[in-house]
């Protein structure tokens, strides 16, 4: 191989490494943007608890963030293995932070989902208990 070819290969590798870093950064930015808006999680227009929970459950959808994070991890891993990044600590830190945020949001969504399915049954139980208490009170009044 000639010296010129080796120089061209090094230049091409440098360009590829820069593009790979840009791809990781772009995917991370898209993932952060895909996360739920803080106000959507905090505010509600619901008339009852079930409406609040359903709205919150919808707001806690991470959307395309998981796919974007996966894409960032893929290119980051490829870049690390190729030793293409001079300094990748910032990317690794951001990937970890995003991964934790998505995990926290998903866990909260699961908890809200459980409450969403529990609250109607709890309401029915309390209504039944209230009806039984009223019936017992009526029976005592009749005696």
Convert the pLDDT of each residue in 120-141 to its tens digit: 999 999 999 887 766 565 656 6
109 Cβ contact list (under 8 Å, min separation 6): 57, 60, 61, 62
What pLDDT sits at residue 6?
52
Q: Of 3-17, 28-42, 78-92, 112-126, which range is least confident?
A: 3-17
The answer to whether 91 touches 76, Cβ cutoff 8 Å, is yes
Distance CA(9)–CA(13), nearest Å, equals 6
Residues 6 or more apart from 49 whose CB is under 8 A from it? 119
Question: Do residues 112 and 57 make contact, with C-beta atoms less than 8 angstroms apart?
Answer: yes
What's the token pair of residue 40?
């959507």
Cα dihedral 72, 75, 81, 87 in deg (nearest 10): -60
Output 134 or 88, whichever has higher pLDDT.
88
Instruction: Name the 3-class secondary structure at 36.
Output: coil
Structure confidence by residue, pLDDT tens digits, 18-47: 899 999 999 999 999 999 999 999 998 899
């Amino acid at each position: 191989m000639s010296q010129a070819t080796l120089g061209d290969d090094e230049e091409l590798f440098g360009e590829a490494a820069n593009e790979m870093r840009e791809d990781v950064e772009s995917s991370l930015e898209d993932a952060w943007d895909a996360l739920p808006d803080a106000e959507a999680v905090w505010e509600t227009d619901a008339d009852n608890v079930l409406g609040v929970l359903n709205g919150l459950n919808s707001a806690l959808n991470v959307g395309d963030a998981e796919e974007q994070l996966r894409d960032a991890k893929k290119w980051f891993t490829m870049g690390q293995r190729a030793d293409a990044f001079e300094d990748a600590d910032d990317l690794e830190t951001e990937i970890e932070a995003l991964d934790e945020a998505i995990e926290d949001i998903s866990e909260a969504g699961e908890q809200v989902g459980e409450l969403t399915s529990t609250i109607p049954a709890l309401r029915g139980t309390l209504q039944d208990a209230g009806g039984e208490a009223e019936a017992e009170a009526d029976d005592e009044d009749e005696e």
